[in-house]
Structure 1
Amino acid sequence: MKKIVLLLLGLVAFSGFAQQKNQSATNQPVKPLAEKYTDQMKDMLTLTLKQETKIKALYEEHLTKYPETNANAQEVKKENAEFDTKLKGVLTAEQFEKWQYIREHPMAAGFKAGTEKGKKG
């Protein structure tokens, strides 16, 4: 009986830790992520300063909404489509076409899961 109680307590503690760890991953600070993504786009697409400022603001808005829509796949698709539409208004046709290709073929752009371009990891 004592072993069962200890086992249950261990499982409850572990599941609470796992939930807490998962929540912290979705609640990352928005501004550093927006800066990171904007910097990546700046390097890949040769953005102007004006484009860079607008895209950073778009990312901040997008990333703020994203955790709210994360529960529903259709809402996520809708939010991503809205983001793409806004992004298309900031980028030139050539930049947007290149951005679409990079998103569809991240390995061709030099990205690997969990690493930044140009860094081994």
Structure 2
Amino acid sequence: MKKYVFIIALVVSGLSFAQEKGKFKNATAEERAEMQTKKMTKDLTLTKEQEEKVTAILKEHHSSLEAKKEEIKNEQIEAKKERRQKAMKEMKESRSELKEKLKGVLTEEQYKKWESLQNERIEKVKNHKISPKE
């Protein structure tokens, strides 16, 4: 029964604490635990022993949450890299298919000229990216 009361108290204090989001938002895990413990101590009249235990529990909890957030952030960054690499691979494959299709339609002379124009265009784009705008 005491466990249920404690859990409910944690939830209620967490909900009431959410109202002070401005202070809570940029706080470290330790600061969050301290603020939440103070609120719980005030609302629930915790003993010193309870306060220490609650602080320890909340520090562990908030540290764990921060680690999870960081992990998710890193996974999202990796996913973006993978999507970019996949898109680049697909673009290369698409260019290869285009070349093969054009080879079948254009004469050898036309194809060489087209390839030359493509290479010039690519160089122009590369140089434009490298050189500063005047």
Q: TM range, normalised to the smaller chain?
A: 0.3 to 0.5
Which is helix-richer, 1 or 2? 2
TM-score under structure 2 length normalisation: 0.34
Greater gyration radius: 2
